[in-house]
Structure 1
């Protein structure tokens, strides 16, 4: 639901009731993951998607039914591929999705309104809704802020506290997924499945080196939803005019800027660091620090000879082989790239592949799933997160 928060927030501001279908579980080669949503307002306007087109028509009708009052205000639905009838409503890609379809009246659901407001404004918040359990509890929700405070209720104070704790943990990791708790909020008993949707600021892409390849990478990063910073110590090159698509352009020594951002708490496990300068006086101090941080990705541009020389210098600086194994160098996937735009595509593709565990190999002729199963997110209270 939070993935279409901007439009839903506008509906809420106008006081318009709507129905929203949210993916709560997937199996097989389903195209969308938990949290993906399709919503319909009273005029029949639809926003979002739950399947990339396979079952949108049927889901649209479920939303219209929930909104009209002709059926339950909150229901569970499942769609999957039917081999018996190729024209039946189902996912022709072969997967299965479970949905929570829910009518939302803004006047009666302030916790959802506030969650949508936070998400549409780029704020930090999580909303936990009961996605599986007794019919009378389906769709109940709590909104959890970054300080752990919560509003709304799942119908029981202890259950609310437990759900808020679980949602806060997922919010800290920037994750959306499901978690099971006991119906009474304990670590045992009849389980309830919660769908926890996290809204966090965009991940950061730090591009070091104000060169033409950087300008293309900035555009690719913005396309992928990153907040992009370009940093270079040379003021003649690091200008907003040369990088109009960047969120910020910083003139500073790269390693000094990275240290300052780390101290300020603006570097996290979703941050991608791309070093494009291939100049040892900039690269080595920067990489020495970046490879010690728990960031998502560190890549550096340069030839294979430059890479080997760089490894020697980094070892001299005290980095171990385990640290150096995190370095993607030469940066990018082998696409045969030549132009800055093609090179940016190869770098962006490697970042995506690394993030999701992809191989970068062609799908044609492969016998592996197109949509590999993500790490398990459902867990019982008291067990470690995946």
Structure 2
């Protein structure tokens, strides 16, 4: 639903009832991910998409029906082998499970709170029951900010606390996902499937080395939605004028900046300096932090020398195995712009556990469903202690 947060926020402020159709499960090569929504108000105004166009007509009519009947939520399953689905154009080979429910904003004030945070660009999560007892399907609970504030209720008690914990973990991971709760003596006798819609802060791309390749990489990172930081100890090179697409340009020793800045499991660290006095202390630190990706630029010879120096600095084999060096995928890149594509392609493949191979050479689903990753403050504290003790 957060794909249409602007409109839903306005409708909530206006206390305008609407029907919300949400993709709650996908199989195969579905065109849009779980959590994508369409909303329709009483005047027939529609916003959003659940399939990129191929089943929108059928979903629109179901929304109109649910909104008019003021009844219980309904489910619709669209699959390639179903005659009805094929008739409305779902020819991608995927399958969609869509939940359609009526939303009366005055009855769900917490939804407006979460949507307002999303519109402002702040992190928020909305947990929506998509399977379970009939009276709970469609109910929602919101978690905003750093997870400290929770609004709304599902079934009350321990289950709400468990769902809020799951929502906080998914906020940290920056991922929308389904979770299972209940059915095991934790306050709800029947199991619930909850879809947690997540709007997280932008993931970070930390580029160390104010070189031409960094300018191209910062532009590519900005295009991909990263919060881009360029850091270099040399003030003559680390200037905002040279890196207009970076959110931050920092003049500092790289390892000192990384020591003090916020990172998480979605952070990508790219080391482009080619200078051991910067690279070694920086990589020694980065390889011990719970970041998602660490890559370093350089030739094969540079890579071998870098590994030798890191080993001498006490970096263990398991941490060295995290290093992507030479950085990037083998695309035959030459220019800074092509190299930026090579690097970001590797980050994307690593993040989503892709192979980096041509899709035409592979079989099976194009899209993967990944379990949520989680990084915690305690992990970073442990790493910091390890580094201090080296």
Provide TM-score, normalisation by structure 2: 0.87
Cα-to-partner distance string for 1:250-303 (whole Å, 9 max, x where unaligned): 111111110111xxxx11111000111112222111111111111000011111
**Once superposed, what is the RMSD of the aligned Cα atoms?**
2.4
Q: Secondary structure at the match of 2:360?
A: coil
Alignment correspondent of 1:332: 328
CA distance in 2, matches of 1:160, 1:212: 50
Say if 1:75 and 1:138, in contact at 8 Å, map to a contact too: no
- Equivalent residue number for residue 319 of structure 1: 315
* 2:199 corresponds to 1:199: yes
TM superposition shift of 1:319: 0.7
Match of 1:118 in 2: 117
Deviates further, 43-52 or 109-118: 43-52
Q: Who is 2:242 aligned against?
A: 242
SS at match of 1:230: strand
The within-5 A match list for 1:14-53 is 14-53=14-53
Corresponding residue number in structure 1 for 2:386: none
Counterpart in the other structure of 2:292? 296
Deviates more, 1:200-209 or 1:102-111: 102-111
Contact 1:180 1:193 in 2 (8 A): yes
Q: Structure 2 unaligned runs (5+)?
A: 374-390
Match of residue 182 from structure 2? 182
Preserved contact between residue 80 and residue 90 of structure 1 (Cα < 8 Å): no
Counterparts of 1:59 and 1:193, CA distance in 2: 22
Q: TM-score with structure 1 length normalisation?
A: 0.88
SS of the aligned residue for 1:66 comes to helix
Matches within 5 A, 1:96-107: 96-107=95-106
1:286 aligns with 2:285: no
Q: Give 1:1-386 correspondences, 5 Å limit.
A: 1-67=1-67, 69-70=68-69, 72=71, 74-82=73-81, 87-89=86-88, 91-145=90-144, 146-182=146-182, 186=186, 189-261=189-261, 266-375=262-371
Secondary structure at the counterpart of residue 130 of structure 1: strand
Between 1:194-203 and 1:82-91, the stretch displaced more is: 82-91
Q: Tell me by how many angstroms 1:148 deviates.
A: 4.2
Q: Segments of 4+ in structure 1 off by > 6 A? A: none
Cα pair distance change 1:43/1:309, threshold 3 Å: farther
Kept in 2, the 8 Å contact 1:207–1:274? The answer is yes
Query: C-alpha displacement at 1:126, in angstroms?
Result: 2.1
Equivalent residues of 2:80, 2:86 under 8 A apart: no
Q: How many residues align?
A: 372
Q: Say whether the 8 Å CA contact 2:11–2:17 is kept in structure 1.
A: yes
Listed one character per residue, the Cα deviations across residues 204-263 of structure 1 (whole Å, up to 9, x for unaligned) are 1101111221122112112221111111111121111111111111111111110111xx
Q: 1:246 to 1:176 in 2, by over 3 A?
A: same
Correspondence for 1:384 = none
1:4 Cα shift?
A: 2.9
Cα 1:5–1:155 shift into 2, 3 Å: same
Distance 1:144 1:180 in 2: 17
Query: Which has the larger share of helix?
Result: 2
Change over 3 Å in CA distance of 1:283–1:47 after alignment to 2 = farther
Q: How far off is 1:317 after superposition?
A: 0.8
8 Å CA contact 1:159, 1:185 repeated in 2:
no
- DSSP-derived class of the 1:354 partner: helix
Q: For each residue in 1:38-75, what CA deviation from the matched residue of structure 2 results, as whole angstroms up to 9, or x when unmatched?
A: 233445444333223332232233233333x1463632
Deviates further, 235-244 or 346-355: 235-244
CA contact (8 A) 1:158 1:185 kept: no
Change (3 A) 1:171 1:235: same
Gaps of 5+ in 1: 378-386
d(CA) in 2 for partners of 1:188 and 1:74? 21
